[in-house]
Amino acid sequence: MATPRFYVSIHSCNLLIMMYNEYIESKVLPIEKRGTAMRSKSPELMKEICQYAEQYYLQNGISPSTTKIAEEVGVSRGTVYKYLVAMNDRGMIEYDGHDIQTDVTRKLNTETSQTAIVGSVPCGSPQYEEENIEEYISLPTAIFGKGDFYILHASGDSMVDAGIDDGDLVVIRKQNYADDGDIVVALVDNQNTLKTFYRDEQGRKIILHPENESMDDIVVDNCYIQGIACHVIKAL
């Protein structure tokens, strides 16, 4: 029995080759195009990662881990690492596999002052101040400025309307005078309290005003100003 033979014209061969090439091109991207697609990164995610790294450094004094960043921005650790490397390559940040530095963190890193946390100050009825130094923390001068500072834990709820909640750290600039409207650490009868400072219309009485509508003013003839609240570090 003779084997069947198939004859294909040159025109048919060319047509088949063209169809095959079109099929291949539809399935496989050129290497250059694939590389471009893989290198593309979301500008929004880059910005989010950068802002979180700066915020975390401000609060903790160190760079966040890839795990922390991943939890914050909602992507995998591997994706965070690739983004950090890409951002480093583009000059957006400096990343050595551990520390993340941006223009903001470099500025914060240049100058700091060691500031003592010296116990608590009541946001309520006046209480004795505990002068025991608990620890020292570094305050970046770029944010807090230069000066003689100490830090107290806020306790109570009399200053909540001023944004000072129980457990917050209040940065106090040491000075013995105040203007109306300043939030002060005031010593009254050997007890201290954190309140807003005012004088009455006659200038004879000092009013220590709680920033809480449910609480009454403390009115005294005199008090000793131990410092002015200038910053609040919110409790986590």
- In the chain, how many H helices and how many E strands? 7, 11
Token pair listed for 233: 């570090």
Cβ-based neighbours of 52, under 8 Å, separated by 6 or more: 64, 69, 72, 73
Report the alpha-carbon distance of residue 10 to residue 158 in Å, rounded. 94
The secondary element (H helix, E strand) that includes residue 14 is helix 10-27
Q: Among all residues, which ones are annotated catalytic? A: 158, 195
Token pair listed for 93: 């940040």
Task: Count other C-beta atoms under 10 Å from residue 161's C-beta.
Answer: 12
The secondary element (H helix, E strand) that includes residue 187 is strand 183-188
The secondary element (H helix, E strand) that includes residue 142 is helix 141-144
